[in-house]
Chain A
Amino acid sequence: MRGTGPDDGAVLVEATSLVKVFGGVRALDRVSVDIRLGEVRGLVGENGSGKSTFIKVLAGYHKPDAGTISVDGEPVALPIRLESLRTTYIAFVHQDLGLVGDLSVMENFFARDIARARAGSVRERFVPRRAYRRHLRACLDQYRIPLHDLDQPVGELTPLQRAMVAIVRAVDEIGRSGAAKSLLVLDEPTVYLPEDQRGMLYGLIRDIVADHNSVLLVSHDIDEVLEVADTITIFRDGKAIDTIASSESSRREVVEMMVGLAPGRVEAMAEKARSARAATLGSAERVVELRHVSSGAMTDATLQVRTGEIVGLAGLVGSGYEVVPRIIYGLLPVASGALEICGNPVTSRGHSPTGAIELGVVLVPRDRIREGGVGALTVNENVFFPIRSRFTRRGVVRWKDGWSWVHDQLVKFDVRPPDGARELSTLSGGNQQKAIFSKWSQMQPKLMLLEEPTQGVDVGARLGIWGFIREAASGGAGVLVASSDYEELVELCDRVVIFVAGSVVTELERSELSKQNILNACYARANATRMEL
Chain B
Amino acid sequence: MIKTDELVGGDGGASAAKRRRIGVPQPGRLTRATGLQFLEKSALFVVWILVILVFSLLKPGTYPTLSNASTILGSQSTLLFLALGLMIPLTVGEYDLSVAYNLVFSSLVIGVLNSEGHVNIGVAILVSLAVAAAIGVLNAVLIIYVGIDSFVATLGTGTFFGGMALWISGSNVIGGISNSLVTPIIIDKLFSIPLEFYYGLAFTVILWVLYRFTFLGQRLLFVGRNRDVAKLSGVRVNHVRFWALVVSGLFAGLAGVVSAGTSGAADPTANISMLLPAFAAVFLGATTITPGRFNPWGTTASVYFLVSGITGLELVGAGTFVQQLFYGGALIFAVALSILARRRRLLSASRATEAAAAAGR
Contact = CB atoms under 8 A, between A and B. Distances in A.
Interaction A to B: yes
Interface in A94-147: 98-103, 107, 111-112, 114-117, 119, 125-127, 129, 133-134, 137, 141, 144, 146
Given A148-B9, A528-B360, A531-B361, A127 B215 contact: yes
B72 to A, nearest CB: 34
19 contacts: A98-B229, A98-B233, A100-B222, A103-B221, A103-B222, A103-B225, A107-B218, A112-B234, A114-B222, A115-B222, A125-B214, A125-B215, A137-B12, A141-B14, A146-B24, A148-B9, A318-B353, A526-B360, A531-B360
B233 A526 contact: no
A129 B7 CA distance: 16
Interface in A142-161: 144, 146, 148-153, 155-158
B357 interface: yes
Contact of B353 (A115, A116, A133, A158): A158
Contacts of B8: 148
Contacts of B23: 530-531, 533
Given A102-B292, A103-B225, A151 B233 contact: no
B21 interface: yes
Interface string A35-48: 00000000000000
B218 A155 contact: no
Contacts, number: 119
B345 interface: yes
A326 B278 CA distance: 42
A119 B216 CA distance: 10
Contact of B357 (A98, A111, A127, A532): A532
Interface residues of A, number: 46
Contact count band on B: 35 or more
A114 B234 CA distance: 9
A127 B213 contact: yes
Nearest to A318: B354
B219 interface: yes
B226 interface: yes
Nearest to B12: A137
Contacts of B216: 125
B21 A530 contact: yes
Contacts of A127: 213-215, 217-218
Contacts of A531: 22-23, 356-357, 359-361
A389 interface: no
Contacts of B229: 98-100, 111
Nearest to A526: B361
Given A137-B12, A533-B22, A126 B215 contact: yes
Interface in B191-232: 213-219, 221-222, 225-226, 229-230, 232
A141 B12 contact: yes
A183 interface: no
B342 to A, nearest CB: 9
B357 A114 contact: no
A522 to B, nearest CB: 12
Nearest to A161: B353
A137 B13 contact: yes
Contacts of A400: none
A528 B360 CA distance: 8
Given A101-B226, A103-B221, A125-B216, 9 more contacts: A103-B222, A111-B230, A126-B215, A127-B217, A156-B345, A316-B357, A318-B350, A530-B21, A530-B360
A176 interface: no
Contacts of A141: 12-14
A100 B226 contact: yes
A141 B7 CA distance: 14
A116 B226 CA distance: 16
B2 interface: yes
B214 A525 contact: no
Contacts of A112: 233-234
Interface of B: 1-2, 7-9, 12-14, 18-19, 21-24, 30, 213-219, 221-222, 225-226, 229-230, 232-235, 292, 345-346, 349-350, 353-354, 356-361
Contacts of B233: 98, 111-112, 114-116
A527 interface: yes
B230 A115 contact: yes
B23 to A, nearest CB: 5
A116 B230 CA distance: 10
The 9 A-B pairs of least Cβ separation, nearest first, read: A531-B360, A156-B349, A115-B234, A115-B233, A100-B226, A117-B215, A115-B235, A111-B233, A114-B218
B64 to A, nearest CB: 38
B12 A318 contact: no
Nearest to B234: A115
Contacts of A146: 14, 18-19, 22, 24
Contacts of A528: 360
Nearest to A129: B213
A269 B199 CA distance: 77
Most chain B CB atoms below 10 A, which of A114, A133, A156: A114
A134 B11 CA distance: 12
Nearest to A528: B360
B292 A148 contact: no
Contacts of A144: 14, 18
Contacts of B345: 153, 156
A98 B232 CA distance: 8
Contacts of B18: 144, 146
B248 to A, nearest CB: 21
Contacts of B346: 155-156
A528 B217 CA distance: 42
Nearest to B19: A146
B91 to A, nearest CB: 12
A530 B22 contact: yes
Nearest to B2: A151
A107 B219 CA distance: 10
B357 A526 contact: yes
Contacts of A133: 2
A125 B215 CA distance: 6
Most chain A CB atoms below 10 A, which of B1, B226, B350, B357: B357
A413 B230 CA distance: 39
Contacts of B234: 112, 115-116
B239 to A, nearest CB: 12
Nearest to B22: A146
Contacts of B226: 100-102
A478 B275 CA distance: 57
Contacts of A156: 345-346, 349
Given A103-B221, A107-B221, A150-B2, A114 B215 contact: yes
B360 A114 contact: no
A39 B255 CA distance: 62
Nearest to A107: B218
B14 A119 contact: no
Contacts of A153: 292, 345
A156 B356 CA distance: 14
B329 to A, nearest CB: 26
A485 B345 CA distance: 29
